A and B are shown apart, each in its own frame.
Chain A
């Protein structure tokens, strides 16, 4: 599979628990993005990496959220002390440096439900 892979596809957690999602980008893509999508809305930018460096974070990304891309390959997004408002689809995307959106491929997302 040469697409962007996300795991898990679905996650149900109790409020206050921590959750971690994983994204495996297309292998030759050095940029990796995290977006959040709530029902009826477009994806909202959270953060992005170029190789292993996290270069930009949205103000939507509170201190309960942390993202890593330790070796410039896969990335993880962790949410600590989850709240009901964190329920959303978390989308990962990847692209090539300099492509300005060309080859911007989304994964199928992880749907988080906080109960």
Chain B
């Protein structure tokens, strides 16, 4: 089955700096890669996703890049703000598994003033 690894487990940046979180996956059949933000005690919420026919996608301060050859994808947050502080999860799925998502172990992002 799919295995998703995520690094780093914790990340502390100053407000205004950029943050990068990286994930690798094992199943070459995976073709959908979402990122979720989870604040303490709340539900995971989708913040951005990318499909395998695209190399990069951007939404305001958030971007995701995908390297299918190397089987890794990354989340980039620019101009970080205190409200970006949360746990971020990457995930992967393939059409053969009916949208079942395999999640990484999460990155706790702390944006300091």
Contacts and interface: CB of A to CB of B under 8 A. Distances in A.
A43 interface: yes
A36 B43 CA distance: 12
A100 B51 CA distance: 10
B45 interface: yes
A95 B49 CA distance: 15
A101 B49 contact: yes
Contact of A43 (B44, B93, B97): B44
Contact of B105 (A33, A41, A102): A41
Interface residues of A, number: 23
Interface residues of B, number: 24
A42 interface: yes
B66 to A, nearest CB: 14
B32 A42 contact: no
6 closest A-B pairs by CB: A42-B103, A106-B43, A42-B89, A108-B43, A106-B44, A45-B100
Given A95-B99, A107-B43, A108-B43, 16 more contacts: A31-B98, A33-B100, A41-B105, A42-B89, A42-B91, A42-B105, A43-B103, A44-B103, A48-B98, A50-B98, A56-B98, A100-B93, A100-B99, A101-B32, A101-B34, A108-B42
29 contacts: A31-B98, A31-B99, A33-B100, A40-B105, A40-B106, A41-B105, A42-B4, A42-B91, A42-B103, A43-B44, A43-B103, A44-B103, A45-B100, A48-B100, A50-B98, A56-B100, A91-B44, A100-B32, A100-B99, A101-B34, A101-B49, A101-B93, A101-B101, A104-B46, A104-B99, A106-B44, A106-B45, A108-B42, A109-B43
